[in-house]
Amino acid sequence: MNRRRFVASSVAAAAGAALVRGDAYAGSVESGGAAGPSDHAVPGAIAEDVIQKARFPEGFLWGAATASYQVEGAWNADGKGESIWDRFTHTPGKVRGGVTGDVACDQYHLYREDVALMKRLNLKSYRFSISWPRIQPTGTGAPNMKGLDYYKRLADALLEAGIRPWCTMYHWDLPQALEDRGGWPNRELAGYFGEYAGILGKHLGDRITTWAPFNMPWAVAYMGYAAGALPPCRTSFPDFLKALHTLGLAQGEAHRAVKAASAKATVGSAYEMAPAYPKTETEADRAAAARYHAMNNVFFLEAAMKGRYANAFVGEPPYDAMGVRPGDEKLLLAPLDWVGFHFYTRRIVSDASKERSFGGGSFGGTEIESETAGGRDPYTKIRAGMPTEGPLTDSGMEVWPRGMYDLVMQITKEYDHPIIEITESGGGYLDEPYAKENGRIPDTRRIQWFRQVLAELARAIADGAKVRAYHAWSLLDNFQWAEGYTERYGLVHVDFRSLQRTIKDSGYWYGRVAASGRLGDGGNRGQ
């Protein structure tokens, strides 16, 4: 590969990518942020009259999302192999409360009940993930038909209920046997992942037509191999860089393999994204915010659409260290049929290029919460923080609804009005059944979270963004990775002892919004 051309052609993606003062609502922290459409009592909140007027287009796909390890349970049923998450949770001291996903919500056995709940909530799209070790217990070789059968049954139940099955091929549960062969830093995994995707297309492609290779690939690489915050818990920057490139290649392999196996397949993504605002007006912080956007938001999107990585780096991109080879641009290319990304919160970014970098950090849901002196890594040289200007959820994430508008409009502009799906979005609040009201769950803060964020999404649609779907995270309270069961994101409450499901007030509210396409009178403010 011509390294200079590879770099030069990537610069455009990063240049001007930071949200800067005067762009939509955004402003630097130094400038005090910027004003929204009217005065707000709560920083970052949208005015009530805008919420009341919000309308979603006819046919908009209202959905909810989950992930295999977080909801399925049945960790060793029907020939399933061990995943890195099985290994991690079975290791004492790793997960808060010492809990595991061995049972989780037991959706593997209770999926019919869950599909009935989705129907009751008027959902039209269910984003779930397939557990790779259920299909290939050691990550390679012949498929385990019992594992495939489970996903056939799930997809059939969804189709019967008029709900689109939306499949993420990989939401973090790597077969342990592949980690033992080096994990994502091993380039061979791209080929194995392509074979796995081909199996999915061949056996499930008659039922499932909406696919995304990876959930949050940047997090897979960074949290797993640089920060050591998620399994396999390595703290090696070289491994992080290699994992990035294997994931980029694997995305391309999966795209080609599923399309070759299933003529009906459409392929998109489920990237983590957060709008990045520079901390100050300085050129250095604005450039750092652009690097954040290039690395965290569009690194893999740029690879898929253009066969090159967005330039997220200070100085010469470390392509040698990433293991990039001549001709790889053809393998990276995987033009997406639609662009899927999550929205939870925003980031304030500053330049860390004059500081020394150290590894380590922890997982805060969507992003590294690294407090190390030197910023996150020696390549992007950024410090990305989550401000606390807006209110915080119980999971500790700042509520900043206008970030949804800024992010959707930024992707709309940069990628020339792609079809967009919001693949995850939601607030973690710990509301429990209220005994005095027959076990009702009045999670009004979650309703407020959705009202505000969805109003901002409606505003982006009104301003020309082609958003066709929104998936609430999550359908069910579930296993929240290293936080165990101490965070709740569901529209439906789960009692993890009895596995009883109870629709929360937010679930009823969301169901009314899904039926009416309105936030005002369709889903009223209380329950």
Q: Which residues bind ligand IFM (CB under 6 A)?
A: 67, 70, 216, 342, 365-366, 424, 473, 480, 489
CB of 494 to ligand IFM, least distance (A): 14
- Cα–Cα distances (Å) from 292 to 14, 381, 485, in that order, read 9, 9, 30
Region of residue 477 (phi > 0: left; psi between -120 and 50: alpha; otherwise: beta): beta
Residue 240, C-beta contacts closer than 8 angstroms, at least 6 positions apart:
221, 222, 225, 226, 377
CB of 445 to ligand IFM, least distance (A): 16
Residue nearest to ligand IFM (CB): 365
When the beta carbons of 67 and 123 are compared against ligand IFM, the nearer one is 67
Residue 103, C-beta contacts closer than 8 angstroms, at least 6 positions apart:
73, 74, 75, 496, 499
CA dihedral 237, 243, 249, 252 (to 10 degrees): -120
CB of 505 to ligand IFM, least distance (A): 20
When the beta carbons of 415 and 485 are compared against ligand IFM, the nearer one is 485
Beta strand 347-351 with 382-385 is antiparallel
CB of 74 to ligand IFM, least distance (A): 18
- Cα–Cα distances (Å) from 304 to 152, 191, 470, in that order, read 28, 16, 22
When the beta carbons of 20 and 220 are compared against ligand IFM, the nearer one is 220
CB of 496 to ligand IFM, least distance (A): 15
When the beta carbons of 25 and 400 are compared against ligand IFM, the nearer one is 400
The beta strand positions in 171-269, using DSSP E, are: 210-214, 266-267
Single-letter amino acid, residue 231:
P
Determine the Cα–Cα distance for residues 30 and 140; give it in Å rounded to an integer: 52
Kindly give the residue spans of alpha helices, DSSP state H, lying in 376-430: 402-414
When the beta carbons of 366 and 380 are compared against ligand IFM, the nearer one is 366
CB of 397 to ligand IFM, least distance (A): 8
CB of 78 to ligand IFM, least distance (A): 23
CB of 478 to ligand IFM, least distance (A): 7
SS3 state at 176: helix
When the beta carbons of 67 and 411 are compared against ligand IFM, the nearer one is 67
Let me know: does 486 contact 428? Beta carbons within 8 Å: no
- Cα–Cα distances (Å) from 408 to 12, 47, 404, 417, in that order, read 19, 19, 6, 10
Whether a cis peptide bond, with omega within 30° of 0, leads into 231 is: no
Let me know: does 382 contact 349? Beta carbons within 8 Å: yes
When the beta carbons of 82 and 483 are compared against ligand IFM, the nearer one is 483
Q: Token pair of 348, please?
A: 């304030």
CB of 109 to ligand IFM, least distance (A): 21
CB of 167 to ligand IFM, least distance (A): 15
Sheet holding 164-170, edge to edge: 266-267, 210-214, 164-170, 125-129, 61-65, 466-473, 419-424, 339-342
Single-letter amino acid, residue 374:
G
When the beta carbons of 69 and 111 are compared against ligand IFM, the nearer one is 69
What is the chain's percent helix, strand, coil content, to nearest 5? Answer: 40, 15, 45
When the beta carbons of 96 and 112 are compared against ligand IFM, the nearer one is 96
CB of 489 to ligand IFM, least distance (A): 6
When the beta carbons of 70 and 357 are compared against ligand IFM, the nearer one is 70
When the beta carbons of 477 and 505 are compared against ligand IFM, the nearer one is 477
- Phi and psi at 422, nearest 5°, equal -85, 115
